[in-house]
Amino acid sequence: MRKLTGGEWVRHITLAALTAALYIFLTVGIVPALSYQASQVRFGEALTVLPALYPAAIPGLIVGCLISNIILPVTALDVLFGTLATGLAALCTYWLRRRKFIMPLPPVVFNAVIVGAVIAATTAGANFLPTMLSVGAGQAVACYALGLPLFEGLRRLPMFKKKDETKAVTKRKLR
């Protein structure tokens, strides 16, 4: 990533804050019971595709996940390791941003393994493999069924297009 100028810092911080707020709303505000059990679909995790559009989503997702986990009735291990899983997934999504169908995979894998292990370790009678598969399935729904369409819709907006693309589109419209 290149160094940000003064005005770009404001945009970066604003996008990060908006991403965090939206993550919290989608996770805690919409059916929160679906966000913390072994069978979970965390709607906020659909936003883990956003680092492919703008890097400011990475800290936004980390902060949003951390605050959501603090608000939800989860263990301290889940607060720590769930946030770590989302942070690692956001970084990997950014690195895979040019591979549309692979970029949602890191959130699925990191959360399935890490959150699955935490839930299995802190829940009586929970086995790792079924818990991992259950968390992974919910994560796949959030990232592929919700996240990819979100990505496709947002990437067409002028604010997320590269400057060269925006100029080319403008020239085509003028002709």
Q: What is the pLDDT along the chain (175 residues), one digit of tens a residue?
A: 567 676 788 888 999 999 999 999 998 887 765 655 666 788 999 999 999 999 999 999 999 999 999 998 888 998 999 999 999 999 999 999 999 899 999 999 999 999 999 999 988 888 999 999 999 999 999 999 999 999 999 989 887 776 554 444 445 454 4
1 in a structural domain: no
20 in a structural domain: yes
pLDDT reported for residue 123: 86
Give yes or no for a contact between 21 and 50, defined as CB atoms under 8 angstroms apart. Answer: no
118 in a structural domain: yes
33, burial (CB in 10 Å: exposed 0-12, middle 13-18, buried 19+): exposed
151 in a structural domain: yes
pLDDT reported for residue 158: 85
CATH code: domain of residue 43: 1.10.1760
Q: For the chain, how many structural domains are there in total?
A: 1
Q: How big is the CA angle at 45 (ends 27 and 35), to the nearest 5 degrees? A: 40
pLDDT reported for residue 139: 93
62 is written with which tokens? 């980390």
User: What is the residue whose two structure tokens read 């990437």?
Assistant: 155
121 in a structural domain: yes
User: What is the residue whose two structure tokens read 């945009």?
Assistant: 11
77 in a structural domain: yes
Taking the alpha carbons of 144, 91, 108, 100 in that order, is the dihedral positive or negative? positive
Range of the domain at 130: 6-174
135 in a structural domain: yes
Of 98, 93, 126, the closest CA to residue 111 belongs to 93
CA distance 93 to 63: 17
51 in a structural domain: yes
